Amino acid sequence: MRIFFFLTLFFAAAAFAQAPDAEAPAAETAAEETAAAVPPPHGVEESLAALRPLLIGQRYLEQMRKRLAVQLARMDRGDADFNAWFTDNALIAREFAADVRIIYVLDFAEGAQLVSHGMMKSWGMDLDRLHQRALVNLDRAHGEIAIKQVAKLPWLYVIETGDGYAASRALLHWRWAEMTLKYGNTLILGMPTRDVVVFTPTLNPERIEQLRETVDTVERHQGQPVSRRLFQWTPQGWIEFDAALQQTEEQGRQSGEEQGGGEGEVVDAATEAHADVAGQPADAQQGGQPRQAKTGDEHRDQQGDQPLQHERETSEEEQ
């Protein structure tokens, strides 16, 4: 059982390292199986210190799961608890947004290993605790987000790393919250590969389209792809960017502003008209000044300091 456990992790790591559609040669597979029979010399604390979250596309995650299922099926010795063993060795994954998922790896110096459900249980952890520990480690090791502005496209910014965690830095939500203080709350993000992230702080349709083209080009021509989708920052987390929804919301805001502006003009006009009446000579009003003061008292709760304004204008007129 113990050999099978680590063998599963080794095969998972091998599948993770391959290109999405590549198949390992038979000779390499045999060599990996021999090497995998020796458990890696890492204790629990060392393993937890190496824990990292990793963003990966759903399509590639499914390919990894299929390869792993084939390897597990080949190792079936007819044990009665095969299903439970198969479940323990399944990869841990949780949703991020759209077609992107979060998996977990142990980032050792000699190579990465994927984390399975059985491994998580052996540490006495649940998924939430595992995720939080992975985030803390990621922030400690790769928390700094080096942003470069594209010279020819000053509205476009790039995060490019060689550590495999450029896209995963999107999980450090508090870091991005700090960035909104500089770039604003409108952050549209693309993560075509694990090492390249691009974003723009604008909803301009032409620039969004250029951002999409950039994401598509990078995803097609560089390795370790993640997604061709775009994502939008919100205080609650990243969501898939919906251009049609944004356009509808923008139109709604503009309509509200226009409507609010019209209402403001009506209120201002009414106030000015009221002030003009209040500014007339006392003998031109029936009852004179006392009636004006009484009118101000009747509407004091609705117009705040307006009666004082009426009195001041009346005084100036009398002078």
The 10s digit of each residue's pLDDT in 193-215 is 999 999 999 999 999 999 999 99
205 vs 155: CA distance, rounded Å: 13
Residue 67, phi then psi, degrees to nearest 5: -60, -40
pLDDT digits (tens, 9 = 90+) for 105-135: 999 998 899 999 999 999 999 999 999 999 9
What is the DSSP code string of 141-179? HH-----EE-SS-TT-EEEE-SSS-TGGGGG-HHHHHHH
pLDDT band at 271 (very low <50, low <70, confident <90, very high): very low
Whether the predicted pLDDT of 308 surpasses 60:
no
Please report, for the chain, how many H helices and E strands are present, in that order: 13, 10
Q: What pLDDT score does 246 carry?
A: 72
Question: CA Rg, the chain, in Å?
Answer: 32
Q: Between 305 and 47, whose confidence is greater?
A: 47
Nearest to 35 by CA among 101, 93, 113: 113
Q: What is the mean pLDDT of residues 211-234?
A: 95
pTM score: 0.68
Least confidently predicted of 31-40, 153-162, 200-209:
31-40
Whether the predicted pLDDT of 14 surpasses 70:
no
Q: What is the mean pLDDT of residues 49-56?
A: 97
Q: What is the mean pLDDT of residues 45-66?
A: 94
Q: Between 250 and 12, whose confidence is greater?
A: 250
Residue 28's CB is within 10 A of a number of other CB atoms, namely 11
Least confidently predicted of 86-95, 162-171, 252-261, 263-272:
263-272
Q: What is the mean pLDDT of residues 14-26?
A: 41
